[in-house]
Each structure stands twice: as C-alpha cells, then as structure tokens.
Structure 1
Amino acid sequence: MLKEASNPVKSTVRTFEVLEGLKELNGARVTELATHLDLPKSNVHNYLSTLRQEEYVVKDGDEYRIGLRFFELGAYARNRMKIHNIARPEIDELAAETGELTNLLVEEHGRGSYLYRARGEQAVRVAAHVGTRVPLHSTGLGKAILAHLPEEYVEEIIAYHGLPRSTSETITEPNELYEELERTRERGYAIDNEERLRGLRCVAAPILSNEDRVLGAVSIAGPTNRLQGDLFEEELPERLLETVNVIELNVTYS
C-alpha cells in the first residue's frame, strides 16, 4: 500500500530532489539547478559533489548530469523480476508477428513502470522508454492492471496520485474509471484510445498468477489510422491474449 515515511530523513529527501532536478533540466550547472530548486548554491554544490564522489553524477565541464550507475541499479532491479525474464521472449515474438510496438508494464507505488518493450517492423517511436513511470489510469496497460487490483488499493491510488489529464480522451473522473475497469474485466483486456498520447491506440491484457494476483500487463500499440476495425477489435486482442496465456503458464510452471 502507499505510505509516507513517519520520520523521513531530510537530507535523503533533498538528495532525490537534486537528482530529479537534474533530470528535469537534462543536466545543469550549479547556479541553474539552485535556481530551479530554490536552494542556496553552496548546498546544491555539496550535494552534487557528494553524488559525483559516489559515482551517481557525472561532471562535464561546468555541467552535472545523472550517471550510468543508476542504470546498473535499474537493470539489477528489473532482471531480478521473474515476470521480466519470462515475458521478454514472448513480447519479442508478439512484436515480430504484429509489426507493432509491444510493452510490458508493472505496478509499483501506485504507478506503472515500463519493464520491457519490443518493436516490430512498422512500430511507431514514442517518447516513453524502458524505466519510464506513468499514471495507471491513462494507459491501456495501467487499466488492465487496475482492473485486477483490490478495490481499496485502487481507491488509495486515486486519492494519492489523482487522475491527471494527458489528452482530451483521458479519464479524469473516478466513477467513469470504475465503469471502464468493469468493462475491462468483462472483455478480458483494456483499450487505450488516445488517452495518453494523441494518435496512439493500444490493447492491453493483464498477466495473472494462479491466485488471480495481477503481475503486470502486456500491450500492442500503434497509430490510430492503422489500428482500426477488425484488426483492433478482434485480431490484435486475440493474439495478445494468446501471448498472455503463454506467459501465465510459464510463470506458474517454471
């Protein structure tokens, strides 16, 4: 469940604020980052110097940027997840067969995190990459997961993160979202109709354990002008559900 620390360490919180600031600015000089964070230059310099010492930040001339040591930690976190290792070859095959963009997403701290994605021959290129975190309510992947989380946890996610709008099609009302999640459970998969990115559609299905615990979700995504009619309503969902079935069996019996 979503919980805040009862006694957070202020210096640790500040360290992550500095890192988030570097990310938002795509690298920055001390003065620029201090202005962005509204902090004294001397404090920001001390944080950056310490992070550089520990090899989490790189200095290039006068500019600091996030270093690749975070990539090592992220890769470790991802590779120790059974669902990633089992789903990866199936997602590759799904992309090759459909020619589209295929994705694996898991829920953590009430948000969705992209664990893996594969590109077919005609796959579109979108801004999100492996490691990107997104709101659950505005993606097909996220809705597929939300539909199988305990209702009280879904309510907690909405209360904690809200339902921010990404496009004019994003669901931003709780009752409307609950209705959409019910439809998702009934059909067995979720639909994203330009709810996170204009011009992009996707179908997404949950990966469930033997105990019906949701482990993640898989999607097929493509441009709206291509994902239409029987392809979008029947062919892709059928192929997606076949893939998810294989993943679920491999998770259960491997």
Structure 2
Amino acid sequence: MTSSGHAMRAVITTLRVLETVAELQPVGVSAIARATGIPKSSVHRCLVTLREADWLTSSSTDRTQWVLTGRALSVGIHASVEGGLREAALPTMQRLRDETHETIHLLSYSRDQGLVVVDRLDSDEPVRTWVHLGARVPMHASCSGRAVLAHLPEADVDRLLGGELERFSENTPADKQAVTEDLLTVRKSGYATNNCAWRPGVGAVGAALLDKGGRPVGALAVSAPIQRYDEERAVRLGALVVEAARRIGAKLRST
C-alpha cells in the first residue's frame, strides 16, 4: 500500500473512532474496540490524536471514559442545524436582541447531549456577555437549564439532579431541594432567572422552547453584564423572552 493509502486508512480509522464515541459516549477503549473491530492499541492512538486536536476529552466523572468536546458538538450542530431550530429561531432572536440590546443565546436540549449552545447574537453594547458555540450548559446553575427542567417529567428531573451539583458561586442553587423549589417559580412565571449563579458578573433570563408534544427541545436566553441587570430588569426581560420563546415554539410546531 502506498504512503497516501496508509494515510487515508489512518484518517478513516480515526473518524470511525470519533463516530463511535459520538454514538456511545461516555465510552472506554475496550468498548470502542468491540464496537469497531479496531485493535485497542490503534483505538488508543486515535483517541490521543483526537484529544490533541480538541475533538475528544476524558469524562469529568471517569477519566477512562471519552466524550465529545464543545468543538465537536459545534461542528455537529452546524452540520445538522438541530432539526431546523436555528432557522426557526433566528428572526425572533434578532428582534429580541434589537429590543434588549443584550446577547441572545439559543440552546438545544436532548436527553443524550444535555443543554448545548447552538447559536448566539451578540449585544451591540461595548461591554457584553459571551458563551462559545458548542458549550455545554449546567442544568441546575443556568436559567436555560432550569427553564427546561421545569417542563421535564419528574423522573428526568430526579435523574438530572441526582448527583452532586457543582457550585459555581455563592448564588448557585447547588442542592436538589433548592433547584426544585425554584422550578415552582419558573412554572408560574414561564421563565427562569440567573444572578451570577453560573458565570460571575452575568445576569440572565431564559425560557424553554417546546415541541408539538409540549416537551422542551431547547431554550432561549437573554444575558447581560451584572451592571445592567437587577430584579426589575429581570422581570422586563422575562416577559420579552417568554413571548419570544412562544413565537419560536409556534414556528417549530407548525413545521
């Protein structure tokens, strides 16, 4: 086989490993080898290559398990366009950004991937907030996550809040009881709020995007530097994000 043939085979093998991790994550070397028929030594080399290229990383809960990075998720998001979510949301996102002059984040939710940022429209203010595309967002600590949790079945909420909840700041609701109590408020108002609970210096409001069956498929959030965020503004932004999420949901349900 020529050198170019060897190189092509190596690329194909590496892509097979990447695809297998995407399908089975979190997954270890032995499971990847069984699923692909690729020797463990070759699987390990591919994993190291993909880690160095920032496509894969070790699971935060088990260093022997492998998962996709935000970079890989972002590429997948742009390739699949999340079933039309971005197209359905973009006009409303633009209108909401123009109304609020703050950064608008669109997030996709699935049981397997959790909550992932799939699009962003930046504020036109000189000081603004920012989250990179493909970022995984904590369910308990973010307004988007709690907006989604408020629409999930109790069994799913228990599963997502069952482990140890990471504390990002003194404002993070880092135990199940605190989160579930907040969900009662979210269900009444239609939106969740965030006062530096996830990212320092950032306030935000978020509402869930619902499919035809009333299940959450994502969330819409408005985030602002804490200098432009207080309880009174959170109420105003909350009303706007609820209406924006309603419009996007209606568009999703009509397609």
TM-score, normalised on structure 1? 0.71
Relative to structure 1, the CA distance from residue 203 to residue 69 in structure 2 (aligned partners, 3 Å threshold; closer, same or farther) is closer
Question: SS of the counterpart of 2:217?
Answer: strand
CA distance in 1, matches of 2:243, 2:237: 10
Secondary structure of 1:120's counterpart equals coil
> Quick check: 2:108–2:117 contact (8 Å CA) kept in 1?
yes
Equivalent of 1:122, from 119, 122, 125? 125
Give secondary structure in 2 for the equivalent of 1:134. coil
Match of 2:161 among 158, 163, 171: 158
Q: Is the 8 A contact 2:122 2:130 kept in 1?
A: no
Q: Percent identity?
A: 24
Pairing 1:9-20 to 2, within 5 Å after superposition:
9-10=32-33, 11=40, 15-16=46-47, 19-20=50-51
The alignment partner of 1:225 has SS state of: helix
Alignment partner for residue 222 of structure 2, among 211, 217, 220? 220
Deviates more, 1:223-232 or 1:199-208: 223-232
Secondary structure of 1:141's aligned partner = helix
**Which residue of the partner structure matches residue 31 of structure 2?**
8
Q: One-letter code of the match for 1:158? A: L
SS state at 1:113 partner: strand
**Distance of 1:17 and 1:179 partners within structure 2:** 43
Aligned to 1:43: none
CA–CA separation in structure 1 for the residues paired with 2:117 and 2:137: 8
Residue pair 1:106, 1:215 contacting (<8 A) in 2 also: yes
SS of residue paired to 1:9? helix
Secondary structure in structure 1 of the residue aligned to 2:227 = coil
Number of aligned residue pairs: give it: 210
Alignment of 1:249 onto 2:250: yes
Q: In the alignment, does 2:90 pair up with 1:88?
A: yes
Q: Deviations over 1:115-168 (max 9, x none)?
A: 1110131174445211111221111011101111111112212236x3111122
Conserved in 2, the CA contact under 8 Å of 1:87 and 1:247? Answer: yes
Asked whether 1:132 is paired with 2:144, we answer no
Separation in 2 of the partners of 1:129 and 1:195? Answer: 18
Q: Which runs of 5+ in 2 are unaligned?
A: 1-23, 34-39, 56-62, 64-68
CA RMSD of aligned residues (A): 3.2
1:71 shift after superposition: 6.0
So what's the TM-score if we normalise by structure 2? Answer: 0.71
Q: Distance in 2 between matches of 1:203 and 1:182?
A: 16
Is 2:136 aligned against 1:113?
no
Write the mapping of 1:1-254 to structure 2, written as runs, cut at 5 A: 8-10=31-33, 11=40, 15-16=46-47, 19-20=50-51, 22-23=53-54, 72-77=75-80, 79-108=81-110, 109=112, 111-122=114-125, 124-126=127-129, 128-159=131-162, 162-233=164-235, 235-254=236-255
